[in-house]
Amino acid sequence: MRDRGTGELAPAALLAEKLGVHLDPELLVLSLTHRSFAHEAGGIPTNERLEFLGDTVLGLVVTEALYRRHPDLSEGELAKMRAATVSQRALAAIARELDLGAYLLLGKGEQATGGRDKDSILSDTLEALLGAVYLTHGLEPARALVERLVDPTLTRAADLGAGLDWKTSLQELAARLELGVPAYQVLGEGPDHARTFTAQVVLAGQVQGSGVGPAKKIAEQGAAAAAYRTLLERSPQGQASHG
């Protein structure tokens, strides 16, 4: 897959070289084909079926890795770590390290609204690539690639504690303190391609924390993190840790 004039690798082949795996050229292109491009091209196949497959492969490999690495953790703790590792935000960060946005096949409208850097598109495309690797080489090479890509995230997840899922951690802390269930109020501002969300979390009738982010979920997690830290400082457990 080299350009006949320059001898350089074609863009899709360059990506395969970054991944360290050989992929059938057609399958590689398919994994990079967003539905917006497919629609403009007259309804050609998209990467969504490969994404569906890759999501399953990713989940299996990450779940097994966590199970083997952390024999003393509960099912709930493992589930939080898995969720943090395979989250849209975490996968998009990996995709950016690969410069995956540069290789995407996007429709003109999606390109114009910043599609090459959208978390949702980047994470979905990364999963599609994993699906393509699985179809081409089977589980073990796919496992090796997944583990290489997500290992830094898995390592960080082991040290995050409550930060694995601030909303769940806040709900658990609020229950211990008998404050009821957290309620989130979210406002979005700006154009669709560059919206900013502000979230506030209310407990016992009072705003306990706020957060801002490019997505509703991120803003809510930020608000939950702020509230968690505030409540922990006020709780007997938090006060004891400073005593």
Residues with catalytic annotation?
55, 127
| Residue 3 assigned to a binding site | no
| Residue 26 assigned to a binding site | no
| Residue 127 assigned to a binding site | yes
Q: Extract long-range pairs of 165-169: CB within 8 Å, 24+ residues apart.
A: 165/80, 165/83, 165/84, 165/221, 166/221, 166/222, 166/224, 166/225, 166/228, 167/220, 167/221, 167/224, 168/80, 169/224, 169/228
Task: Enumerate the known binding-site residues.
Answer: 51, 124, 127
Task: Enumerate the known binding-site residues for Mg(2+).
Answer: 51, 124, 127
